[in-house]
Chains A and B, each alone.
Chain A
């Protein structure tokens, strides 16, 4: 059938179009399902895996409540109890809350933005497998009776080898770091996808509110997770290599761990809450059938919450002896964050007030959210007051507050969202009756468990005790809490039953079953792997309310980018501000590489756990090779986009421009990397200033050698900049030899740093001072060597014709790494050579 043009776009038979698209985008079955990179499949895998981890975490919670139901009851030994409460918190925070929210965003964001996939599909798949393998490794410790047992925030020195000598803490440190690869990679991918792949016309101010929330959440992950990754690396180095970052006797400080942990830990609360609030801001307008009141106010509230949440971390440390003035700063900031959250709550209430809400099951969960979360927020303001915090610190009051905030702010909206988007996942509607039973059992059970727990804490019961004596007034509230938890578990079982049954007995979902306004409901139910056969223009915030026929016209191929005979997976690349199309982003297809890379990383994690360091080196080298192969299959490579032709009137492919998603991906990744480095720098100055027994050894670093290395890197960066300027001007003369020479230069410069490190005579196991310098130099050596390898790879690609004036994009991506390394090396030089010299140390 020949295409018929209407509105400038080709149309054809929808079934035929579907078949053509499915040939390019379709998902394989059997073992080859491991190669799938499509965001719909990956998002669903995140959600199902997160659901399983939730059930395991919930089971651990039931064990805790059973243990505490009666005074003097001994279901578990104290050591087992320590493992159980540590793993409950760890599983819920790291394996359930963040991955579930990211998984839902991975599933929804491209559909809401009118795109066919996320920008880095292979990264999505890698993130999922890292999450799965990391989670399995972590949970395996429970079955081996060596699970982490120092609490989910792993305070030193309790978690250090002196007090936890087995591998328990190592499982946490290595397993969680592994899982965090997944969180950060999804964060990077979501930021770039939201900014660069919206459909034509979806300017920033027309973006669905959910995308704003996910944008802020993702940026928070990018900046907020690296401090914990650094902390985990340092603590693991202390445990495995005896580097004393947190050991007071050798110049370290355990409070540094608390700072690094809570620099991550408090934003984490909002990383979990903001996507939940995004669900609320998406659903309330649908069930009220009117736009949300105050779109701009809500965006303002979300951005403000995202920033201010980074200024609260010390409120978790009010009892450790920080000066009162500093406590007052954090106390004020902690109270302040309630205001932008309050702005959002008032926007939701105003929408409910002005609309005609229909109380279907998702709305019940939203009302539950409003009640529970506002209560949790109010106790949060109480805890922001330093004297009150001192009074209830480490009691069950804090446990109750935390569950009101996290379950209220995340689980209730998530359940609303799951019920709302269930027809999307399955094409069927859930049972209204079972859904209501599930909600009420959960809501009642939750409040019975945790409302009473506030009083348990106020009358003095500390958290994390495995049992208690009778006669302290704690018997009855604990029993009530335990009964409540079993009611809540019944609610979870009912919801689970409803979800399972609906796949078999649920009514087929009609098109756009809730009469929603956002584009994810313009796909088929369940959606195809490519989401939309044609990509529509969008001119307002409510495309489906203003054009209810949009799903049909999309399916008929009446919009853009419907040609598929070139075999490429394509979606629009748009301007981040205006949403105007400026290139076509071509995406990689299914691949074994993400699975293999994650499996090798799992091998690395396991070999580190078993202290098999040679094997760890082999796994690292193998991972690097796989990742280099990954980057090889890009741009003009035959497996990517060797043929750059596009349809008349269409923009060029991104790999033929200077501004593709990889450029943005590298930028955002370096932002995360920079957050990690700044945390290390913070650690250096913190220890220098505060550590009670800070020791400065006699020996001095060879500052001249470091200066020479930094100067050489500066020369290389200027050279690369000039080379790329010529490339931008259309000349690629001498590109290959110059890139090869630059790679050589970077290698020499890295070797100088290595020489500096080896010749410095550092004693990193004797003082924290030398240990930090060691890590700082190693950090630069690794990054500069990586820049050498990647630049050499570019030279090689020029030889194959994959990079040149026709495909000039990749050197621009590598250029950012050079600038980053340059900045880091000069800052390190100032910090470890100039600063000590000016302060009278070495």
Chain B
């Protein structure tokens, strides 16, 4: 059976979580660099400034999105109707990848709580 590219059983779903992680990574690294160059927050504010806050919110949103998608694919893999072996492979792998991407986002984002952005 051939699945449309948007189907949750299509293998394109497998790397989506890590693609989201990559985009998030580019945005926080690039965003931090650009903003530090053009409009750096006051260094006296330390960690708690609008830039770290904005990047932190973006990080939390990304983590929530990835966890939600991980949960979605995990539920799909345990659907009441029987999935074939190939569909199980895609859904379980996609669930795992999304979960890993969520944890990776959280782990790489932790320094936002510890380090001012433009030092």
Contact = CB atoms under 8 A, between A and B. Distances in A.
Contacts of B119: 323-325
A325 B21 contact: no
A311 B22 contact: yes
A325 B29 CA distance: 9
Interface in A452-489: none
Contacts of B92: 296
A296 B29 contact: no
B89 A204 contact: yes
A325 B115 contact: yes
B54 interface: no
B33 to A, nearest CB: 7
B114 A328 contact: yes
A307 B101 CA distance: 10
B36 A300 contact: no
A543 to B, nearest CB: 16
A685 B97 CA distance: 31
A643 to B, nearest CB: 29
Interface in B31-72: 32-34, 36-38, 52
Kindly name the residue among B15, B37, B111 whose own CB sees the greatest number of chain A CB atoms within 10 A.
B111
B69 to A, nearest CB: 15
A7 interface: no
Contacts of B30: 685
A683 to B, nearest CB: 13
Contacts of B14: 303
B11 interface: yes
Given A296-B93, A303-B97, A323-B119, A333 B108 contact: yes
Interface string A790-814: 0000000000000000000000000
A305 to B, nearest CB: 10
A367 B30 CA distance: 42
Contacts of A326: 29, 32-33
B33 A307 contact: no
Given A203-B86, A323-B32, A689-B33, A577 B10 contact: yes
A689 B37 contact: yes
Contacts of A335: 107
B91 to A, nearest CB: 11
A332 B110 contact: yes
A577 B90 CA distance: 10
Contact of B93 (A300, A307, A308): A300
Contacts of A296: 89, 92-93, 96
A299 interface: yes
Given A299-B93, A323-B33, A332-B111, A307 B22 contact: yes
Given A303-B15, A577-B11, A336 B36 contact: no
A506 B2 CA distance: 49
A307 B15 contact: yes
A329 interface: yes
Kindly name the residue among A205, A325, A328 whose own CB sees the greatest number of chain B CB atoms within 10 A.
A325
A329 B28 CA distance: 9
A304 B97 contact: yes
| Number of chain B interface residues as a range | 35 or more
A329 B111 contact: yes
A308 B112 contact: no
B76 interface: no
Mostly helix, strand, loop or mixed at chain B's interface? helix
Nearest to B30: A685
A690 interface: yes
Contact of B118 (A297, A299, A323, A690): A323
A340 B100 contact: yes
B104 A690 contact: no
Kindly name the residue among B10, B11, B92, B100 whose own CB sees the greatest number of chain A CB atoms within 10 A.
B100
A310 interface: yes
A575 B3 CA distance: 11
B79 interface: no
Interface in A570-624: 575-578
Contacts of B114: 328
A558 B108 CA distance: 55
Contacts of A303: 14-15, 18, 93, 97
Contacts of B34: 685, 689
B116 interface: yes
B103 to A, nearest CB: 8
B93 A332 contact: no
Contact of A325 (B2, B15, B107, B112): B112
A325 B32 contact: yes
B2 A575 contact: yes
Interface in A318-368: 323-326, 328-329, 331-333, 335-336, 340
A575 B1 CA distance: 10
B22 A310 contact: yes
A678 to B, nearest CB: 10
B86 A304 contact: no
Given A326-B32, A576-B11, A689-B37, A205 B86 contact: yes
Interface of A: 203-205, 296-297, 299-300, 303-304, 307-308, 310-311, 323-326, 328-329, 331-333, 335-336, 340, 575-578, 685, 689-690
24 contacts: A204-B90, A303-B15, A307-B18, A307-B19, A307-B21, A308-B104, A310-B22, A323-B36, A325-B52, A325-B111, A325-B112, A325-B116, A328-B114, A328-B115, A329-B29, A329-B108, A331-B111, A332-B108, A333-B108, A577-B2, A577-B11, A578-B86, A689-B38, A690-B37
Please list the 8 inter-chain residue pairs (A to B) with the smallest Cβ-Cβ separation, ordered nearest first: A328-B111, A205-B89, A307-B18, A332-B108, A689-B37, A325-B115, A300-B96, A325-B117
Interface of B: 1-3, 10-11, 14-15, 18-19, 21-22, 25, 28-30, 32-34, 36-38, 52, 85-86, 89-90, 92-93, 96-97, 100, 104, 107-108, 110-112, 114-119
